[in-house]
Amino acid sequence: MLKAENIRKTFIHRHNNVTGLKSVSLEVKEGEFLSITGPSGSGKSTLLLTLGGMSAPTEGKILWNDESVYHWDQAKRAAWRGKTIGFVFQTFNLIPYLSVLENVRIALKLSGNGAASDSTEILELLEKMKLSDRLQHNPKELSVGQQQRVALAQALVKNPQVILADEPTGNLDPDTAAEILALLLALHNEGKTIVLVTHDPHIAKLAQRNVRIIEGELWCANNADPGLRL
């Protein structure tokens, strides 16, 4: 379904040339719940953004149903990302001047998967996310847990095939984190493909499969220890 073939990614960060990924190959199967673990700066987020069509690899290919995502033009890739991929970030990344309802609405509009005025669908989703009483609130008026639920609603409203979640519980207290993880598990049970980046091995264990990334290299790690290099 979503495949990385020999991905190498270098970039300039604070005037230094950094190699984020070194010849990474990975396949995400349809309906799979995959976790990617690794220490800070190991390349987890870089891999996630590259998989999601947000950043072209220096070498190698990202394949979606055997088509190279980065060989498409920018418009086609943006449209694919809008329809197919739902991102969830650690810092929520909500539009600060829009209300909860508008944040979700704009995500639906940009995806092209539904009419922006499809309010019934949006309201049902927000009710499921326990945000019905916060529709007109701006992000800064919400708790961090509520903000992450809005971010998740943004990702889900367009009914994406793949959810790419980058440390979605990193800023949350344990109870709220448990709520978000429960939501992700429920989504997986509904058949969604989920790639979860986390540095927490306990959370990684919730996934069907875990890979570990260390200094830009991918290791098979179905348990907590670094295992075979992939």
Partner 1 sequence: MKIRKLVLKEMFQRGNQLISSLLAITLGIAVIVAIKNITIFSGKAVARELDALGANILILPKAATVQDYYSADFQDEEIPEDYVTALTNSDIQGIDNLSPKLSIPIKLHGRKATLTGILPKNEFKSKALWQGTLGIFERPEGCGTVGVNIPGVTDSPQNMVRKRVIDDLGENDILVGSDIAAMLKLQEGSSIEILGRLFKTVAILPSTGTVDDNRIFAHLHTVQKLSKKESVLNAIEIVGCCSAISKGLIQKINRLLPDARVVTISQIVQTQLSTNELMNKLSALMLIVIIIVGGASIANYMFANVYERRREIGILMAMGAQSSWIAKVFLTKAVFIGTTGGIIGYVFGTLMAIFLGPHIAGIPVLPVPILALYGVLLSMGVSFGASILPVIKATKIDPFVIMQEE
Which residues bind to partner 1, rule: CB under 8 A? 11, 13, 45-46, 49-50, 52, 54-55, 74-75, 78-79, 81-83, 87, 89-91, 93-98, 102, 105-107, 109-112, 116, 154, 158
CB of 16 to partner 1, least distance (A): 12
Specify the residue, 11 or 127, whose C-beta has the smaller distance to partner 1: 11
Q: What is the 3-state secondary structure (H, E, C) of 30-99?
A: CCCEEEEECCCCCCHHHHHHHHCCCCCCCEEEEEECCEEHHHCCHHHHHHHHHHHEEEECCCCCCCCCCC
CB of 60 to partner 1, least distance (A): 15
Sort 74 into a burial class: Cβ within 10 Å, 0-12 / 13-18 / 19+. Answer: exposed
Token couple for 125? 């989703």
Specify the residue, 65 or 91, whose C-beta has the smaller distance to partner 1: 91
Q: Of 90, 71, 63, 72, which Cα lies nearest the Cα of 180?
A: 90
CB of 36 to partner 1, least distance (A): 15
Specify the residue, 196 or 221, whose C-beta has the smaller distance to partner 1: 196
CB of 83 to partner 1, least distance (A): 7
